[in-house]
Structure 1
Amino acid sequence: MTPPDYDSLLDDEVSAYIARSATYFPPGAVSLSIEEQRAVYDRMCAAFHAGRPEGVVVRDLVYGGVSCRLYEMATASEVTVVYYHGGGFVVGGLESHDDVCAEICARTGLRVVSVDYALAPEHPFPACYNDALAAYTGVREAFAGPILLMGDSAGGNLASGITHEVRPDGRVIGQVLIYPELGADRHKGSFVEHAHAPELTAADVVAYRVLRFGVADPPAGDTRYFPLQDKDLSGLPPTVVLTVECDPLASNGPAYRDAVRAAGGQAEWINGKGLVHGCLRARHCSARAGAFFDEIVGAVDALGHRRWPY
């Protein structure tokens, strides 16, 4: 297989974003100590933080025993978006995705709750999942309306896993998953084609899996680890999966979409051309990343207001 020509696939703005990102979070950062990884990741996220839009009221609260951050507009929303941040289950937290959650709240008018789940390796799987579920349960008890689950990368995995778990209660009206890790075959597709992609390599993915669970191969048949291991995907709410072209995780999009559709559900896959993993941070410095974020906001707005425009 001929390696992708990233000089051709990526435009100048995305390339500039990658170069700037590398000054904070260098390639191969997964080989650093856990403390160093978190420090460089936090510095990178702080450098790209775009501020919160006016009118968003923010409070740090606890739901289900888990630290969370609540974002609301002056007019109360019936719908609550529960957001699980990315970071390989190892880095990230309430600060890393603060401006992303604030912008989603401002642009959709929906209440957003960001979840600060436990991180590996100090808290190995299933600690992250248990916190994600506990936070969902706390939000469910605190607010009476419908719930939309979403997340990026590792957080997309958690959002989907919780959606599978709680579907019988009918409170979740949709899920929006951003370049998620869902368990697609790592021996073919994007995992092979984009094994050496900028920002996230296949080796990085495996390294994060080892940190999360202790071994590279996931537990067999455990939907909490990989939602695509679920033998029954029926009854899931409307689903939008958004991936990016230059990413070993891209094949999770069509794999999950097809599995949900095969089980009788509504699912759409959107793939951002010429973009890289983590490009949420590039939304204000790249037209392509900005358009990708528009797609994300559009999906949240549509599902949060019970529309299916796809």
Structure 2
Amino acid sequence: MSRQQRDALDAMLRSAPRSETRPTPEEQRGGFTAAVTRPVPEGVAARRTVLGGRPTLELEPAKVSGRGRLLYLHGGGYVIGSPDTHAGLVGELARRAGLRAMSVDYRLAPEHPFPAAVDDGLAAYRELLAAGTDPRDLVMAGDSAGGGLSIATLLAAREAGLPQPAAVVVFSPWVDLTLAGGSIRSKEGADPIFTEADVHAYADLYVGAGDRAHPLASPVFADLTGLPPLLVQVGANEVLLDDAVRLAGRAGADDVEVTLEVGPGLPHVFQHHYGHLDEADAALDRAARFLTAHLGAGRPGADRLGPAR
């Protein structure tokens, strides 16, 4: 892995201009779109559809292994981001795993505060099951707020009596809107993207005066019993490091199969930088293998499902 690549990425992220006044949500959305969006990968077809009543981007690799489906929830602090901003990242994960992916455009705050995003995640998950998708053929993934939302969606599904999917992967998950993790402060200088004030502002917009410790807003405080195998990937240089570490610990304490990977010297959702950062490509490959390894568990012939590509 390249120290030179990590240093170049850190310098590039730190060079982004920061306004002395906090931008409006609309301004943040425009800036995020310009900074993050990458094209759909070559060999992946994209089409627009609807899932759970919400606009959805379906991404289908040319080479699909078996019947597996991936439900993806994008990041952006519950305020910014969309399936379009994440089309490159989700397409890469789908391509490497050989899975059809559905990336949902869930409602954003402050126009639609908590629990609108959870309601949309659950509606999408419910519709996939109602349409005949075997939960053993279904996996989930998400990054940042979308990582927390993925866990919250599965908690809501559990409470609704729905079966769990085969596995879930989260990149740099935001799972504590109370900001109780020590890294929110201790990693502020190391994080080239976020400050504590940035994260606090997103929490204000999403939850407002509501209960920030609610388990569907902050899944790190939830009972995770019964959730599927979980892979958590996080960078060491991010204020949300402790969110990931504590989520993995909570999952382990609740008897959930969990794998935690901490990448030294890496920023928030470093997987976005595939093709330019060796660690990003390696992490996406491991995430793809994790998802495909759990597909079809318990079904006859499951071991014949194709490996990740």
Give the TM-score of the pair, scaled to structure 1.
Answer: 0.85
Q: Could you tell me whether the CA contact under 8 Å between 1:156 and 1:178 is conserved in 2?
A: yes
Partner of 1:71: 59
2:266 & 2:21 partners in 1: Cα distance? 21
1:69-109 per-position Cα deviation (integer Å, ceiling 9, x unaligned): 11224547422111000111111101111011111221111
| Contact kept in structure 2, 1:85 and 1:114, CA below 8 Å | yes
Aligned to 2:182: 189
Partner of 1:287: 278
The residue type paired with residue 12 of structure 1 is: Q
Q: CA RMSD in A?
A: 2.4
User: Structure 2 matches for 1:80-229, cutoff 5 A?
Assistant: 80-146=69-135, 147-167=138-158, 168-183=161-176, 186-196=179-189, 197-215=191-209, 219=211, 221-229=213-221
Report deviation, 1:15. Answer: 3.4
Structure 2 CA distance, aligned partners of 1:292 and 1:76? 20
Structure 2 CA distance for aligned equivalents of residues 219 and 121 of structure 1: 16
SS in 1 for 2:166: strand
Match for residue 16 of structure 1 among 8, 13, 17: 8
Distance verdict in 2 for CA 1:190–1:21, change over 3 Å: closer
The corresponding residue for 2:229 is 238
Aligned partner letter, 1:68: T
CA displacement, residues 154-186 of structure 1 (integer Å, 9 cap, x when unaligned): 100110001112134224111111100112873
Displacement of 1:284? 1.4
Write the letter of the residue equivalent to 2:130. Answer: E
List, as ranges, runs of 4+ consecutive aligned residues in structure 1 with deviation greater than 6 Å. Answer: none
Shift of 1:254: 2.3
Q: Secondary structure of 1:290's match? A: helix
Q: Write the distance in 1 (CA, Å) between the matches of 2:178 and 2:294.
A: 28
Residues 298, 27 of structure 1: alpha-carbon distance in 2 compared, 3 angstrom cutoff: farther
Q: Which amino acid aligns with 2:8?
A: A
Q: Residues of 2 paired with 1:76 and 1:280: CA distance?
A: 22
The one-letter code sitting in structure 1 at the alignment partner of 2:56 is C
Worse-matched range after superposition: 80-89 or 68-77: 68-77
Shift of 1:27: 3.7
Whether contact under 8 Å (2:139, 2:295) holds in the other structure is yes
Cα deviation code 1:31-56 (max 9, x no counterpart)? 1122211111111123xx154131x2
TM-score (norm 2): 0.85
SS of alignment partner, residue 138 of structure 1: helix
The corresponding residue for 2:23 is 32
Do structure 1's residue 271 and structure 2's residue 262 form an aligned pair? yes
Instruction: Give the aligned length.
Output: 291
Gaps of 5+ in 1: 1-9
Instruction: Provide the identity percentage.
Output: 30
Deviations 1:227-248 (A, max 9, x none): 1222x32111111111110111
